[in-house]
Amino acid sequence: MFEVDLLIVGAGPAGLCAALEAGQEGLSVLLVDENAKPGGQLFKQIHKFFGSEMHKAGTRGFRIGENLVREIAECPNITLWLNSVVFSAIDQNHFEVVHNCSVQVINTKKVIVATGAIEKGLVFPGWTLPGVMGAGALQTMININRVRPGNKLLMVGSGNVGLIVSYQFLQAGGESVILVEAANRIGGYGVHASKIRRYGTNIITGCSVESVSGNGKVESAILAKVDDKFQTIKGTQWEEKVDIVAIAAGLYPLMELLRQLGCEFTMCPPLGGWVPVHDERMETSLNGIFIAGDVSGAEEASTAMEEGRLAAWSVTYDLAKCTKNKYESVRIDITKRLEALRSGPYGIARKNAKDSIYAIAKNFSKLR
Amino acid sequence: MIEKKADVVIVGGGIIGCSTAYGLAKMGIKVIVIERDYVASQGSGRNAGGVRVQGRLPAELPIAMEAVEIWKTLDKELGINSEYRQTGNVFLASSEKEKELHEKMAKRLQKQGLKDVRVLSEQEVRKVIPALKQGMCKGGSYCTIDGMANPLNTTFGYANAAAALGVEIIEHTKVDSIDLANTRVDGVTAGDLKVKCDTLMVAIGSWSNDLMEPLGIKIPITPCRNQIFVTEVLPPIVEPFLLTPIVYCNQTYNGNMFVGNVDPDDYCLGNSANPNETKRTARDIIRYIPALADASIIRAWGGPLDLSADDMPILGDVPGTEGLVVACGFSGHGFASAPYIGKLLSEHIGLGKSSYSLDAFRYKRFQETNAKVDENVYAYGQAIGKNR
Amino acid sequence: MHENNTDNNDVIICRCEEISKEEIINAIRNGADTVTLVKKYTRAGMGLCKGKTCSIVIQRLIAEYSSKSPDQIPFDIEREPFRPIKISVMGNYEDENALVDHEICLKRK
Ligand SMILES: Cc1cc2nc3c(=O)[nH]c(=O)nc-3n(C[C@H](O)[C@H](O)[C@H](O)COP(=O)(O)OP(=O)(O)OC[C@H]3O[C@@H](n4cnc5c(N)ncnc54)[C@H](O)[C@@H]3O)c2cc1C
Ligand SMILES: Cc1cc2nc3c(=O)[nH]c(=O)nc-3n(C[C@H](O)[C@H](O)[C@H](O)COP(=O)(O)OP(=O)(O)OC[C@H]3O[C@@H](n4cnc5c(N)ncnc54)[C@H](O)[C@@H]3O)c2cc1C
């Protein structure tokens, strides 16, 4: 049986940063990811990152990932298993993994779950037609596989994901984009919106897709105005010829492991819906089960990396591999950086949401 | 405190509780069913759906056979799709010695009136199951009237049919205690709910002693966890219910394959699977059916078995406590016979007599004879495992 | 985000098992007010993806057609394996690397 101090599930930005930090502090770390390459969502991000200097804003996402991966390779305490999926938690210390086509059980003292988030689906007549896909899937096709599955894109949802993937579609030679958003304002950052507007993209707020049709694949979409309860306003429908429809209706935490273990959850719409309750140290309602990144509430790579570091330090301290003073000073630094990332008109809602989750966690922290 | 009253209270919303409630409601008797979680949340919603007659002990055989007759028209009766099919049931013999036991068993069953069972050679078995790897058996016992059904659809079907006839089913309510008036059942208490009744039937399987022990009654059943994993939908691979000495598999109406272990020894209760067993069963089943190697497992779960001391259920009155009826100890095969057992229990409670005598299943047998597994007939039962 | 409210009850919600919106609404009306019960009544979410796409939509429908609010509608209980694992892979292991103490198995609830 493979025995380690710390198992990290998911090698996205959160898991990579957590592994590096814990590995450098002397913990034996096993980092597992189901993909052939580490980096999680980062590797799809060919754009320059938003955020501050400190958080590598201006660096392209996949470069950030490459640097982390190099550092991890240099750290002898970290074992990285790729193409390996964690498929079950037997209990809080034993996890089943498929590695090299065989099953292994990992016996670990602590766990950081950094499994990211997945896209929310949207259901309308025609959503199962070829040509309708998640925005993330479209991004993978364009940026990783270098294929552009169509020319005329209907993007549904104007969060950062919708805006960025629309832009990347246009950069990849796409002819046109229509972007609809059910709310009455654009969800993502202004910079991204103006970039695609410069390409002539029409961003229509207060509008949604009613149905999609075509002969064996997407050929056209019926759009309609919606009211503030997102109900169709009768008589406002119109048709647009498109050959690809991407859904960017938000992300929600991928919590399979935490659900199986029986963690507590709370409903928190600003972070994607149901999220695992966790405290400021990133520990869940279960002793020794930590989380970091989008799985703790869908945010950004920059917050994911900081949460990964924070969780790693909490584990390091709990395993008595660093002093209380050291831990406290690191924790305060990271917390400050996280607060900086969660400021401004877009960040503040996430900060408030996080604070409300920490408040719930206070109740069970005392019980432990 | 909420108070209610019914002629009969049934504790436990499994298939036994629901089918009995249905039978009673048809007689116009007012029934309340109280279930801790939701209908079919335990054994009745977690089993493999095997409807097997072969291998039954002498006293149970007529029940299993009559149940098959009910199964044939159950969909029409309940207005459901139970997915019941007579696919046959094949039990492999791994040695000549086992094959002899099968032959002895088949003779006994035939003598008792089951004409549809016969022992096959390996070659004949592989005609019935072409996917079976060569050299894995010395033959097997084959019963053509056996089959399988969908446990969820069936149990929900009984519950809905009972509800339509006026049975009140109270879910998410755990019965805490049985209330007595002297030596008579008065009702039950469940949190702040009190239900008075003339007759109380306890049909809570593995949990029976939770309610019985406080009355000084100890039913000789051992709770045990059994488990299944299920694959994605597959093309038809194995038609009959296939039992080997170590694993079994059966392919559902939808095409998912259920795979389980034959002889569980997890003396605990739980709805998650034993991860060691999941791996062992995966390894074992592809030794028999190599074509399953590439099938994907999508879910594994556990469910309760209530193993009785002599492998037979405990049905009927509990002497010393008037108005108390138990139904438990199904020892891993309570789903198959439930349509008839529910009918018998409802006759017993509603009419004071049943169309097939429940005497062999009386609770008292354990005090009288220290009943235990009958070695003569069990020789085969042992091989067939504790369930199905 | 937005559930558009034109009736379209034949639209497929669970792609793996091909379960329509109408079937799910019927189940909810018959008392299936949890994701688990909708699954057990209709098979929605019983397929290969284990409800990764449809769970969210089913939660929305339960909120719309029952008296429950979103914070009363959790996900289904998660049973391993989370990802489809081939039987040949599940059965490919070495005892000392992959089997745990029986005690640990008995404690699983
Ligand atoms: C289009 C788009 C643009 C974005 N742009 C920016 C940006 O400019 N700036 C920014 O800060 N953020 C951006 N983000 C967000 C950022 O990519 C995510 O917030 C970040 O990747 C989350 O990191 P994570 O480590 O939590 O999860 P992920 O990156 O999602 O990584 C999780 C990893 O865990 C693996 N995994 C999950 N379950 C298992 C399992 N059971 N076994 C093994 N492995 C498993 C997954 O396969 C994945 O590799 C963008 C996101 C998108 C989609
Ligand atoms: C993995 C597995 C495979 C099986 N395969 C087969 C098969 O192929 N063929 C076959 O015939 N049989 C099979 N069985 C056995 C079959 O499932 C049972 O015999 C049958 O379901 C028994 O039904 P029941 O109603 O007695 O019990 P259950 O369905 O277990 O119902 C008991 C109910 O009582 C409730 N309860 C418990 N305590 C309380 C309380 N205090 N208050 C209120 N309610 C309470 C529980 O929640 C439960 O719903 C299998 C069992 C398992 C576990």
Task: Summarize pLDDT for B81-127 with one digit per residue, the tens.
Answer: 999 999 999 999 999 999 999 999 999 999 999 999 999 999 999 99
Q: Which of B351, B366, B5 is closest to B179 using CA atoms?
A: B5
Q: Considering CB atoms only, which of A2, A89, A98 is closest to C85?
A: A98
The model's confidence at residue B387, banded by pLDDT at 50, 70 and 90, is: very low
Atom of ligand 1 nearest to the CA of A136: 53
Give B155-172 pLDDT, tens digit per residue.
Answer: 999 999 999 999 999 999
Question: In terms of CA atoms, which chain A residue is nearest residue B274?
Answer: A90
Nearby residues of A53 by Cβ (< 8 Å), 6 or more positions away: none
Distance CA A117, CA C52 (A): 11
Please state the rounded mean pLDDT for residues B297-303. 97
Q: Is C49 within 8 Å of C43 (Cβ atoms)?
A: no
Distance CA B261, CA B247 (A): 4
Tokens standing for A102?
């065989």
H or E segment and range at residue B74: helix B61-78
Q: Please choose from B335, B344, B345, B388 the residue to mutate so as to test ligand 2's pocket, defined by most ligand atoms within 8 A of CB.
A: B335
Q: Is A18 within 8 Å of A112 (Cβ atoms)?
A: yes
Q: Which amino acid residue places its CA nearest to atom 18 of ligand 2?
A: B334
Atom of ligand 1 nearest to the CA of A11: 33
Cross-chain residue pair A104–C93, CB shorter than 8 Å: yes
CB pairs under 8 A between B and C: 103
Nearby residues of B212 by Cβ (< 8 Å), 6 or more positions away: B202, B218, B219, B318, B326
User: What residues of C are in contact with residue A259 (Cβ under 8 Å)?
Assistant: 75, 77-78
Distance from Cα A15 to the centre of ligand 2, integer Å: 42
Whether pLDDT at A144 is above 90: no
Give A284-331 pLDDT, tens digit per residue.
Answer: 999 999 999 999 999 999 999 999 999 999 999 999 999 999 999 999
Q: Is A78 within 8 Å of A260 (Cβ atoms)?
A: no
Identify the pLDDT of residue A1: 87
Query: How many CA atoms does the CB half-sphere of B243 hold within 13 Å?
Result: 31
Question: In terms of CA atoms, which chain C residue is nearest residue A133?
Answer: C53
Number of continuous H segments (helices) and E segments (strands) in chain B: 11, 18
Distance from Cα C82 to the centre of ligand 2, integer Å: 25
Whether pLDDT at B369 is above 80: no
Which CATH class name applies to C12-72? mainly alpha
- What residue type is A156 in one-letter code? V
Cross-chain residue pair A255–C75, CB shorter than 8 Å: yes
Query: How many CA atoms does the CB half-sphere of B119 hold within 13 Å?
Result: 19
Q: Considering CB atoms only, which of C2, C3, C96 is closest to A1?
A: C96
- CA–CA min distance A170, chain C (Å): 25
Q: Which amino acid residue places its CA nearest to atom 15 of ligand 1?
A: A300
Q: Is B24 within 8 Å of B236 (Cβ atoms)?
A: no
Q: Is A285 within 8 Å of A277 (Cβ atoms)?
A: yes
A251 pairs with which residues across the strands?
A119
Distance CA A263, CA A189 (A): 33
User: What residues of B are in contact with residue A90 (Cβ under 8 Å)?
Assistant: 275
- What residue type is B296 in one-letter code? S
Q: Is B64 within 8 Å of B336 (Cβ atoms)?
A: yes
Distance CA A217, CA A135 (A): 17
| C81 upstream amide cis, omega within 30 of 0 | yes
Give A132-142 pLDDT, tens digit per residue.
Answer: 999 999 999 99
Residues 87-126 of A with CB under 8 A from B: 88, 90, 96, 103, 105
Q: Is C50 within 8 Å of C38 (Cβ atoms)?
A: no
Give A101-123 pLDDT, tens digit per residue.
Answer: 999 999 999 999 999 999 998 99
CB atoms within 10 A of CB B344: 24
Identify the pLDDT of residue C7: 65
Residues near ligand 2 with C-beta < 6 Å? Answer: B 11-17, 34-37, 41-44, 46-50, 174-175, 203-205, 207, 210-211, 226-228, 260, 303-305, 330, 332-336, 387-388
Tokens standing for A179?
């972007």
Atom of ligand 2 nearest to the CA of B302: 1
Identify the pLDDT of residue B209: 98
Give A329-350 pLDDT, tens digit per residue.
Answer: 999 999 999 999 999 888 899 9
Q: Does B282 touch chain C (CB under 8 A)?
A: yes
Distance from Cα B47 to the centre of ligand 2, integer Å: 8
User: What residues of C are in contact with residue B163 (Cβ under 8 Å)?
Assistant: none
DSSP B250-290: EE-TTSEEEEEESS--B-S--SS--HHHHHHHHHHHHHH-G
Percent of chain B with pLDDT over 90: 92
Look-up: residue for tokens 């140290």? A281
Identify the pLDDT of residue B380: 52
Tokens standing for C57?
């939509």
Give C11-31 pLDDT, tens digit per residue.
Answer: 999 999 999 999 999 999 999
Tokens standing for C35?
């994701």
The model's confidence at residue B328, banded by pLDDT at 50, 70 and 90, is: very high
User: What residues of C are in contact with residue A102 (Cβ under 8 Å)?
Assistant: 89, 92-94, 97-98
Distance CA A39, CA C55 (A): 27
Identify the pLDDT of residue C5: 46
Residues 70-89 of C with CB under 8 A from A: 70-71, 74-75, 77-83, 85, 89
Atom of ligand 2 nearest to the CA of B41: 49
Instruction: List the domains of chain B with CATH numbers.
Output: 2-49+152-220+310-369 (3.50.50.60), 86-146+222-309 (3.30.9.10)
Whether pLDDT at C4 is above 50: no
Distance from Cα A329 to the centre of ligand 2, integer Å: 55
Atom of ligand 2 nearest to the CA of B303: 53
Distance CA A85, CA B56 (A): 43
Per-residue three-class SS string for chain A: CEEEEEEEECCCHHHHHHHHHHHHCCCCEEEECCCCCCCHHHHHCCCECCCCHHHCCCCEHHHHHHHHHHHHHHCCCEEEECCCEEEEECCCCEEEEEECCEEEEEEEEEEEECCCEEECCCCCCCCCCCCEEEHHHHHHHHHHCCCCCCCEEEEECCCHHHHHHHHHHHHCCCCEEEEEECCCCCCCCHHHHHHHHHCCCEEEECEEEEEEECCCCCCEEEEEEECCCCCECCCCCEEEECCEEEECCCEEECCHHHHHHCCCEEEEHHHCEEEECECCCCEECCCCEEECHHHHCCCCHHHHHHHHHHHHHHHHHHCCCCCHHHHHHHHHHHHHHHHHHCCHHHHHHHHHHHHHHHHHHHHHHHHC
Q: Does A122 touch chain C (CB under 8 A)?
A: yes
Give B225-254 pLDDT, tens digit per residue.
Answer: 999 999 999 999 999 999 999 999 999 999
Kindly identify the ligand whose nearest atom is closest to the C-alpha of B388: 2
Q: Does B299 touch chain A (CB under 8 A)?
A: no
Identify the pLDDT of residue B116: 97
Give A157-167 pLDDT, tens digit per residue.
Answer: 999 999 999 99
The model's confidence at residue A63, banded by pLDDT at 50, 70 and 90, is: confident
Tokens standing for B162?
């009972």
Residues near ligand 1 with C-beta < 6 Å? Answer: A 9-15, 32-35, 40-42, 45, 49-51, 85-86, 114-116, 136, 139, 160-161, 164-165, 254, 293-295, 299-302, 304; C 82
CB atoms within 10 A of CB B370: 10
Cross-chain residue pair C100–A1, CB shorter than 8 Å: yes
Domain boundaries, chain C: 12-72, 79-109
Whether pLDDT at A62 is above 90: no
Cross-chain residue pair C50–B299, CB shorter than 8 Å: yes
Q: Does B228 touch chain C (CB under 8 A)?
A: no
Furthest CA-CA distance within chain A: 67
CB atoms within 10 A of CB B350: 21
Q: At residue B59, what are phi and psi to the nearest 5 degrees? A: -70, -25
User: What residues of C are in contact with residue A231 (Cβ under 8 Å)?
Assistant: 4-5
Distance CA A219, CA A217 (A): 6
Whether pLDDT at C8 is above 90: no
Distance from Cα B330 to the centre of ligand 2, integer Å: 8
Cross-chain residue pair C86–B296, CB shorter than 8 Å: yes
How high is the ipTM of this complex? 0.93
CB pairs under 8 A between A and C: 127
Percent of chain A with pLDDT over 70: 96
The beta-carbon contacts of A172-178 under 8 Å, at least 24 apart in sequence, are: A172/A142, A172/A148, A173/A148, A174/A148, A174/A150, A175/A151, A176/A151, A176/A152, A176/A200, A176/A201, A177/A152, A177/A153, A177/A201, A177/A202, A178/A152, A178/A153, A178/A154, A178/A202, A178/A204, A178/A223, A178/A240, A178/A242
Identify the pLDDT of residue A346: 80
DSSP B16: H
Please state the rounded mean pLDDT for residues A272-294. 97
Number of continuous H segments (helices) and E segments (strands) in chain C: 6, 3
User: Residue A332: exposed, middle, or buried by beta-carbon count in 10 A (0-12, 13-18, 19+)?
Assistant: exposed
The model's confidence at residue A46, banded by pLDDT at 50, 70 and 90, is: confident
Give B257-266 pLDDT, tens digit per residue.
Answer: 999 998 888 9
- Distance of alpha carbon B222 from its chain centroid, rounded? 15
Q: Does C48 touch chain A (CB under 8 A)?
A: no
User: Residue A354: exposed, middle, or buried by beta-carbon count in 10 A (0-12, 13-18, 19+)?
Assistant: buried
Give C50-106 pLDDT, tens digit per residue.
Answer: 999 899 999 999 999 999 999 999 999 899 999 999 999 999 999 999 999 999 999
The model's confidence at residue C3, banded by pLDDT at 50, 70 and 90, is: very low
Per DSSP, which regions of B176-220 are E strands? 177-181, 184-190, 193-202
- CA–CA min distance B272, chain A (Å): 9
Q: Does A191 touch chain B (CB under 8 A)?
A: no
Distance CA A106, CA A108 (A): 6
- CA–CA min distance C48, chain B (Å): 6
H or E segment and range at residue B213: none
